[in-house]
Structure 1
Amino acid sequence: MRHFRYGALALTLALACSLAAGGVVAAADSIFFDDFHYADTKALAAGGWKIRDQQGHPGIEHGQWGPDTVSLVDDPQTGGERLLRLNARTDGTPQGTFQAQLCHQRKYFEGTYAARIRFSDAPLAGPGGDLVVESFYASSPLKHDFDPQYSELDWEYLPNGGWGNPRSRLYSVSWQTVQMEPWNAFNQVHEEQRALGGWHTVLMQVAAGKIRYFLDGALLDEHGGRNYPAQPMSINFNLWFSPSGVLADSKEQRSYQQDVAWVLHAKDRLLSPAQVDAAVGAYRKAGTHRIDTVPAMTPALASNCDF
């Protein structure tokens, strides 16, 4: 039986981190934290991240994925921190569509997941209206249609609506399984139907057969049962266009951005939103930009970053 505790863990973790010879000494607890304080994408890859470069689901069929869709930029609000930036653009054609996805190792299962994300309601350039999807999620591979071991926990923001609903909304989705063609999905969904452009903290607590979804500290929904994950997952961010919602009457290029300030996973520990905020604040105050004490699976599981 796994045991999960609340308590003052975030404070304990923060106090257990110190600078030593220019590096970070982390607590014994299994923690993954990254605030993307990298000089470039080469350093990002050295931190265990992979930028997707393979075509395939999701997004526009035959659309492009590649290294120039992910970048690291200075955070203008903090004057010293860095941001992960996902960049996607389309002119409505496959050859003119570029989508972004970034994946970390497949070794995450129960515990707490959290990220600080800036969602965008409008394109940086060009006409609005495309069905763009801005995401943070954990997932395992779908080996075949209706794979019973398939596991995925999603945050998906649709600023322009779509999928039968024109309203802006944020999805919280826990997946049991799915068939891609023809589409047939088995999942549990919460829809927060409002525009959410700007910075938000999203958090998932995964333990004892239940998944709890929090937005900016508020509990939105609780999922579980057959939708509870069955196996370790990778951590992912992506920004893509739904083929059913790309403007057909415009060839003008339009582009979107999604920024990420930090991501955190506490293995087998339930942290409240306040505890996560306190831990991140303490890490950053100490100059601790990255911690990874979450052990890889034995044997290590491949994370192909292609789904």
Structure 2
Amino acid sequence: MITLPTLLCALAACTGDPASGGDSGAKGTSAASASPTPTGPPGTMFDTFKYSGPDDPAFAAHGWQVRDGGGGPGIKDTWSAAGASFPADPTAQGGRALQLRSSTDGTKQGTKQVEVQSTRTNLFHGTFAARIHFSDKPSTGRTGDHVVQTYFPISPADDSANYSELDFEYLPNGGWGAPGPKLDTTSWFKADPPDRVTRAAKQRMEGWHTMVITAMEGKVVYSMDGKELFTSSDKYVAREKMDIHFSNWFIDLLPSITGQRSWDMKVNWFYYKADQALSPADVQQAVDGFYGAGTDYVNTLPKS
């Protein structure tokens, strides 16, 4: 049986003995000392993506939108809301996930890319975490496309003086002249001309993974399933408030691969804790606490 102190500790993302509060190792106000509000612990955003579809009023009310219309990256002007859905999924925690399905037949007219992003620019220093399902093969059709399955906080404007972007990008078939599979972790200082530092992990990623970014105290740390992958510092850090994006897109068109094919990326949940660098174990404890309490959505962040 879960006791009330234990549940409150989990929701506040603390560690150790619930009575004593534990120690996550973060600076400043500890998660344990922050009493949960009626809508959740302060400085927290959490979502299990339990929506009926992109047109569900709660989806927009909770600060999300599906991109459509013009622009890049990838195949410009091919963004479509048709690829976003919220199906039941027995492999997902809680049994449901956000699914992002991009498709192409090798032509621009036959290509649809998909991206879901937050609409409130209020994520800055702290811990960003998501449970992501990456795909090594298309759900339908032949493989070979240079597809990018990605999750990243980013500045609202590419020309911002304090431009910030922190990327996880999975390329099962490689791209930009580099072979795959590989997972790129990249911290940006400027979008144009590109100024960034990056590291590639060459491995297959099929399946669910917990991806965590901590942006605190002049450094950015990327980890996957509890293993640290890359750290950036100096000017390659978060310098302003950002949105969060989940995106599934194509680098280029490959008409040599005949027929229609579809690529799926899934997002089980997203969790953000402001101004604290939480360990992956702390993140999972907080997420489990929300699921255990039947909580599908929390946002106690100050409005931007």
TM-score category, normalised to shorter length: 0.7 to 0.9
Alignment equivalent of 2:219, drawn from 210, 213, 236: 210
- Asked if 2 retains the 8 angstrom alpha-carbon contact of 1:8 and 1:275, the reply is no
Q: Which amino acid aligns with 1:67?
A: A
Match of 2:52 in 1: 39
TM-aligned CA distance change 1:143 to 1:124, over 3 Å: closer
- Asked if 2 retains the 8 angstrom alpha-carbon contact of 1:38 and 1:82, the reply is no
Q: Distance in 2 between matches of 1:205 and 1:114?
A: 9
TM-aligned CA distance change 1:212 to 1:80, over 3 Å: closer
Match of 2:21 in 1: none
Q: Distance in 2 between matches of 1:269 and 1:238?
A: 26
Alignment of 1:143-292 (within 5 A): 143-144=158-159, 147-179=160-192, 184-243=193-252, 246-292=253-299
SS at match of 2:45: strand
SS at match of 2:108: coil
Shift, 1:76, TM fit: 1.5
User: Whose strand proportion is higher, 1 or 2?
Assistant: 1
Q: Distance in 2 between matches of 1:162 and 1:85?
A: 23
Q: Distance in 2 between matches of 1:287 and 1:5?
A: 30
Alignment equivalent of 1:116, drawn from 131, 154, 167: 131
Moved over 6 A (4+): none
Match of 2:76 in 1: 61
SS at match of 1:65: coil
Alignment equivalent of 2:145, drawn from 111, 123, 130: 130
Shift, 1:247, TM fit: 1.7
Structure 1 runs not aligned, ≥5 long: 18-23, 298-307
- Asked if 2 retains the 8 angstrom alpha-carbon contact of 1:116 and 1:200, the reply is yes
Q: Distance in 2 between matches of 1:284 and 1:32?
A: 14
Shift, 1:193, TM fit: 0.7
Q: Distance in 1 between matches of 2:46 and 2:174?
A: 32
Q: Which amino acid aligns with 1:289?
A: D
Q: Distance in 2 between matches of 1:285 and 1:208?
A: 32
Shift, 1:250, TM fit: 3.1
Q: Which amino acid aligns with 2:27?
A: R
Per-residue deviation, residues 109-131 of structure 1 (Å, max 9, x unmatched): 00000000000000011111110
Q: Distance in 2 between matches of 1:291 and 1:100?
A: 25
Match of 1:51 in 2: 66
Aligned residues: 277
SS at match of 1:283: helix
Overall identity of the aligned pairs, in %? 36
TM-aligned CA distance change 1:118 to 1:78, over 3 Å: closer
Q: Which amino acid aligns with 2:173?
A: N
Residue 295 (structure 1) aligned with residue 276 (structure 2):
no
Aligned CA-pair RMSD = 2.1
SS at match of 1:280: helix
Shift, 1:77, TM fit: 2.8
- Asked if 2 retains the 8 angstrom alpha-carbon contact of 1:107 and 1:294, the reply is yes
TM-score when normalising by structure 1: 0.85
Shift, 1:8, TM fit: 7.4
TM-aligned CA distance change 1:251 to 1:263, over 3 Å: same
Residue 92 (structure 1) aligned with residue 110 (structure 2):
no
